[in-house]
Amino acid sequence: MADRPDFKKKGPNLQDNSEGKKKDDSLRPPPRAEGAEKSLLSSMLQDPEEYIGRAIEGQLTAAHFYVLPHQKLFEVLTKYFEENKAVELVALTQYLIDRGLLDMIGGPAALTEIYTYAPTAAHFDSHLEIVKEKHILRGIINSCTESIAEAYEDPEDVQIFLDGVEQKVLEIREAAEGGKEETIGETVVEVMKFFEEFLAGDKGITGLQTDYVDLDKMSNGLKPADMFIIAARPSMGKTSFMMNIVENVAVDQQKGTMVFSCEMSSAQIVQRLLFSRARFEFSKLQRGYKPVKADLQRIKKASLEIANSKLYIDDTASISINDLRAKARRKHRDEGLELIAIDYLQLMRSTSRQASNSREREIAEISAGLKALAKELKIPVIVLAQLNRGPENRTGDSLGVPRMSDLRESGSIEQDADMIGLLYRKAYYQNKLAEAEGEEPEADENEDGAGEAELVVAKNRNGPTGNVPLTFIPGLMRFETRAFVGEPD
């Protein structure tokens, strides 16, 4: 048998620093800018009223400083500023002596050196950015180092661990971006502009329009950070209703929209969207029907409009809440999403250990995770959900009419949702009742109540509740505002 190669001798030694080889990262000093730190402190000492305030407005904190004495001095300066004390070198020195902090800063000589370090504060803003950038780099290094250590410990739930790693990086970004504070004058101008546009009829909806008039009036549009639950029994058309809203936002309004379909493939979703938009009954093709020229023109037009839209579809079956949030974050970062739609909640899963022991706990984690995603990305999220058999067990005029308590595992969903719409079609239950009594079911058309549908807005955190009258066109898998059905397209 041939001798086995000696990999130890032939492999590169990454720890060997000789001959320009790569250094051990653990021995490399972290990113820092000591000169820029001293420059900031020097400006704050020389003109405290101007530059301490600017540092605070720029969201500079002691943690941004790498050098420990600089952190301590910054804390003292901001404390002086908050207490409205005059920052003067002699009094400041005595303050540090009294509290045993002068030696920690480096003594009187170090304090004097910092004071005289920057003869001009002209570069204060650029030095502020340098210090903050170095702080971000150190944060990334620390976060990655912690994640590497945790990865070596072989975490039990890898998906939750991965979601945590991604969340740490996002927290660094959010902390770096901070928030922009507007003056009261700017806010008043913005509110008055909206008021004037509203009076002029130029602005009636503040959120995303769904194109369902009564729903838009109740909700004032789908607003950022809101979670809109659309719940129904099977065969009520909740997927069609959701896709009608998606079509309006993604195709007509050209706004980035992502659909997570746990039940249907992306090809099925696009097929339904395409033929519904073209107002062509796809079921006709199964009976040997050949489209006429007008049909083909509408289908071609619809295909081009959908192809040029900002619609993205993920058809991962039984997607976990962690995977969905990770994919949504990346797509939002890359494409700028303005709406997310999910079909449907009960087909998702949670991979946490607690969720594996309780379905109710799992639904609660998924519901809370989707609401957190809406708040994190600051966009509305539409979520489809199943109802239990409650509507079918009712009698008389209440047959089929859903209630919020019919939501499966409803406690957490009711709590997390900003708006809940319960979809049902009266004709569907009338036909079921007729079949049970041995009578001929009515056609699902727009006459004598057949084809009528209702979206019962049972919860609306920011507006009124009530019923949204709709008409369902089964051949097109399409819901339309009832008053508009029959009018020219």
Q: Determine the Cα–Cα distance for residues 80 and 74; give it in Å rounded to an integer.
A: 10
C-alpha 132: how far from chain center: 26
CA-to-CA distance for 96 and 93, rounded, in angstroms? 5
With 0-12 CB in 10 A as exposed, 13-18 as middle and 19+ as buried, what is 446? middle
Residues in the chain: 489
Choose, from 75, 263, 305, 376, the residue flagged as catalytic. 263
Pairing state between β 466-473 and 452-460: antiparallel
Q: Which of 428, 418, 396, 423 is nearest to 407 (CA)?
A: 423
> Active-site residue 263, yes or no?
yes
How far is it, in rounded angstroms, from Cα 60 to Cα 212?
Answer: 47
Contacts of 295 (CB under 8 A, 6+ apart): 278, 280
Which helix (H) or strand (E) is 467 found in, with range? strand 466-473
Give Cβ neighbours of residue 409 (< 8 Å, ≥ 6 apart): 346, 359, 360, 363, 364
What is the CB neighbour count within 10 angstroms for residue 243?
27
Tell me 349's DSSP state. Answer: B
Alpha-carbon span 476 to 276, nearest angstrom: 5
Give Cα separations from 161 to 146, 325, 352 (angstroms).
12, 13, 10
Structure tokens at 161: 């661990």
What residues are annotated to the active site? 263
